[in-house]
Structure 1
Amino acid sequence: MAYDAVVLVSFGGPERPEDVMPFLQNVTRGRGVPPERLAEVAEHYQHFGGVSPINQQCRDLLAAIREDFAEHGLDLPVYWGNRNWHPMLADTVAQMRDDGVRSALAFVTSAYGGYSSCRQYQEDVVAARAAVGADAPVIDKLRQFWDHPGFVQPHADAVRAALTRLDPARRDTTRLVFTAHSIPTSMAANAGPHGGRYEAQLRETARLVATEAAPDLPYDLVWQSRSGPAHVPWLEPDVNDHLAALAAGGVSSVVVSPIGFVSDHLEVVWDLDTEALETARRLGLDFVRAGTPQTDPRFVAMIRELVQERIDPDGVGRRRRLGELPIWDTCPTVCCVPARRPSPAGTTSRGEGR
């Protein structure tokens, strides 16, 4: 298929204090989340003046993509739409239609498979196109990029840089801790031919980053940002519990690398830079949080490469990837749909990295 545009699709976030509750109501619509739980999560945003970093990070990425496309002769306009806050995806799709776009590729700011990280974004695209109507452009999602060098290498460099901030004399008691957004275990075992890939892909990314950054150090994949009733099982261990276990086991220093995320949005700056850092200090652990790709030129170039794969008939044969798990361009509609719908009543999460 010939494509005439690219659209950056992300989660969205509030940009002023009065946006916070309407944003969270968008995130949790239809889930029966009690107001007191929304107020609790809202306090995390208010800690940062009611502003999530994610929208500005998307603006920065959008500008970098456009500059990279121009430098490499890729003559495609680049749009931006969000799942939960302005610019809303349906409004963006309407603008694309008005601009004469007929078919576009979507780059989603989540590297992995799974319901919230992949399938739900495809549902968002379907809903946005339905809201726009029969003239809405066709939009195809680009493939997952969890093992692309443009994603892995910036994370590895960030881990190396973080290690330089720790005491080298303690290297023998230093550990790498990779984190990603926890999800209900029922969601992790998604049905469908490509289901159940979220955890496996993250473990592969952790292996790739650790091997490149510090092959002599032990590492773990743990989880963050879980939410919801205690009786609903989620992927474990939580990063804070894991830090306690490491300290009890004689570990002196940790580098925490949020490989589940592409930028330093609220789930990084609150759950790691605030809560996990406080946990580490209480435990007497040296703690350094590694950075994320954001607008690293290799990450931006990766986006262009993913687009070129799809518009060039020979592009699939030139895919750059480091992992060994299967990859695919398109998913059947039954892929990564849990047996039960995710997010049981009482559950809410910022979810910005998914």
Structure 2
Amino acid sequence: MAPATQFEATQPPNDAISALVFAPGTSRRLLVSSWDKNVYLYEVANSADEAELIGTFEHRAPVLDVCFGASPDEAFTAGVDHQVKRLDLATGEQTVLSKHSEPVRCVVYSAEHSLLISASWDGTLHVHNTADPSRTPLTIPLPGKPHALAASPTKLVVAMTARLVHIYDLPTLSKALTSSSTSPQQQQQQQPPQPWQTRESSLKFLTRAVACMPNDAGYATSSIEGRVAVEWFDDSAESQARKYAFKCHRQAAPEDEGGGDVVYPVNALAFHPVYGTFASGGGDGTVALWDAEAKRRMRQYQRFPESVAALAFSGDGKYLAIGVCPGFETGMEDYSGEGRAKLFVRELGETEAKGKGAK
């Protein structure tokens, strides 16, 4: 592969970026959801110097999350309008799969189990069987408001308020959905699936992002207080002794302002699908690459013009998409992301994301 290159998309969203996701496999398709009520579909050129906008899909309200489904022509969205939608990227057709009673914060698709899971600020998960959309989704009550959601091949991690983290077993959810009644009334009388594990976050402050390791071994979380934690699913004492947390996305304050660190939220996390290293993006406008096993920072990229809101690696690990827009670090009274959102795509060098122990 050629040396790393980076370029900016010429037609970015018109307001703050809420999520980025590449299609699975070697597809160059990239979805971007935005507070401007649209989902944008881009195709990254093989020459990696252009992200062509090939479709825009308008929603009724801001879109808080988006993910691909079983193919590069299928997507799912989570919206402030309380709806979980299936989006046919070929025809533009939108189908409502379920409706929560509050805005839907996250959606994640499990290709291994043909499940779509949505998490809403109403304190529930909806588990959808995408192979049978007519089936009523399974509703799972949560003890707190969900802030971030991520799936590995067999696990689902839900990070909530009050430092609560629930980990669900996806095969168990799939079995529960298959055996559940199609009647919402009868569903309410059935016992919902219980978490595989219940944990307290290693981070003291509000969780901003969660990402799962591609090898199904664990996950990383980040907080508003410039920290990232790395944990493993195995709950043995030996495995739990390996978990750790570290400070990042902080800048030294000027001496005339008292010195010390200016702390920024870590808004985004993404694991490299091949090497298992991960990227973090913060309110300081920087992106860093980390080796989770070696517990070290591999590199930090040149600062971007605004806060880094979202990150995504392509399915083959050759590209890193970076969504940049104003954050809430300076307060919300005069906040405006309109016209200031930017989308960057970086073509990674051959060993750029390769960790110390990777083969």
Tell me the TM-score normalised to structure 1 length.
0.25
Tell me the TM-score normalised to structure 2 length.
0.25
Q: Which has the higher contact order (CA 8 A, sep 6+)?
A: 1
Relative to its length, the structure with more strand (as a share) is: 2
Relative to its length, the structure with more helix (as a share) is: 1
